[in-house]
Amino acid sequence: MTKKWMKGIAAGSILLSATLQGAVDFTKDVMPILEERCLKCHGHIKESGKVVDKGNLDITKPESIKEFLKAGHPGDSSFYNLVVSDDEDEYMPPKGDRLTDKQKKVIHDWIKQGASFDGYTKKEKGESLLQKLAKETPVPNAAAVAHFEQMGALVLPLAMKSPLLQINFKPLGSESNPEMTKRLVELKENLVWLNLSRAKINDASLSPVGELKKLTRLHLDNTAVTDAGLSSVASLSSLEYLNLYNTAVTDAGIAKLSSLKNLKKLFLWQSKVSAAGVEKLQKALPGAYIHFQTATMPKPTKQEDKNAPVKKK
């Protein structure tokens, strides 16, 4: 019943909060709490293929959050009342730990100060690392692209009109040489995939490669690369795929790779690493799939054996 006049006050307090010193910021202070404790039920996000959607609240949309609060009045806001409620039939989040007092206070103060979404930019859901990278990428240096094309390498955009590039040195074959990586640094803003598989490169050739901070995919299989060269690779923090198949790298070398937190696939088959070395790295990179075949690898079961003859019906 008191709602009508409250609306006027709420509007006023939005203006006020913008000038408050030490104001609670939605993006910096509130959103991290919501992402951690509310998103999985109130994000309208896809989880294992189906949309999880508990009620009407979608915390990724300011318009939706606004429906559950009264700016300036935490006590009149279900968005706040539900997180401080003592009623276990209604409090939020319904499972797991309650919010900490500090987190409750952040939400309280943010609403009290006018529940402003100023400066909030919605995180694009499902945006891949590559899409993010593409946004900040200038057009490639044409002279450098021409240099590699003349050399005989395959230079391709990652997708149509994308400023992101892949370079494949495979067509060079025996024409390749340790020096050919030198000018790659001129494309460091653009290069995301680099294929040096079977190229005649050495550890020194990798020092320019170490400057390609956007690389997500790197093929070094069947090359003369050793542990020393992996020092350059260890700084490539965007790397998701690394192929070291049939190289002389050892446990000491792959230990350097534990800094590559984005790594999803690592191929070490027919290198000089040991099972113990792989296990150690796996602990540092629990999310990575490390391909390291040993003699004791289990044989494929009947169902998995795709080469098994298919019986005719």
Q: How far is CA 87 from the centre of its chain?
A: 38
Name the residue nearer to ligand HEC (CB basis): 80 or 292. 80
Min separation Cβ 105 and ligand HEC, Å? 13
Question: Which of 313, 281, 275 has its CA nearest to residue 297?
Answer: 275
Q: Are 107 and 79 in contact (CB under 8 A)?
A: yes
CB of 29 to ligand HEC, least distance (A): 14
Q: Sign of the C-alpha dihedral, residues 89, 91, 97, 100?
A: negative
Q: The tokens of 184 are what?
A: 């790659």
Applying CB under 6 A, what is the total number of residues that bind ligand HEC? Answer: 19
CA distance 32 to 18: 20
- Work out whether 163 is an interface residue with ligand HEC (CB under 6 A): no
- Minimum Å gap between C-beta 80 and ligand HEC is 8
- 56-75: contacts with ligand HEC (CB under 6 A): 56-57, 68
Write down the least CB distance from residue 225 to ligand HEC, Å: 47
Contact 247, 254 (CB under 8 A): no
Distance of CA 186 to the CA centre of its chain: 25
Query: Judged by CB under 6 A, which stretch of 7-15, 86-94, 232-240, 254-262 contacts ligand HEC?
Result: 86-94
Which CB sits closer to ligand HEC, 78 or 235?
A: 78
Contacts of 94 (CB under 8 A, 6+ apart): none
CB of 16 to ligand HEC, least distance (A): 24
Nearer to ligand HEC, 97 or 304 (CB): 97
* Binding residues for ligand HEC restricted to 14-43, rule: CB under 6 A: 37-38, 40-42
Rounded to 10 degrees, what is the CA torsion of 236, 241, 247, 248?
A: 50
The single residue among 12, 94, 173, 300 that binds ligand HEC, judged by CB under 6 A, is 94
Contact residues toward ligand HEC (CB under 6 A) are 37-38, 40-42, 54-57, 68, 78-79, 82-83, 92-95, 99
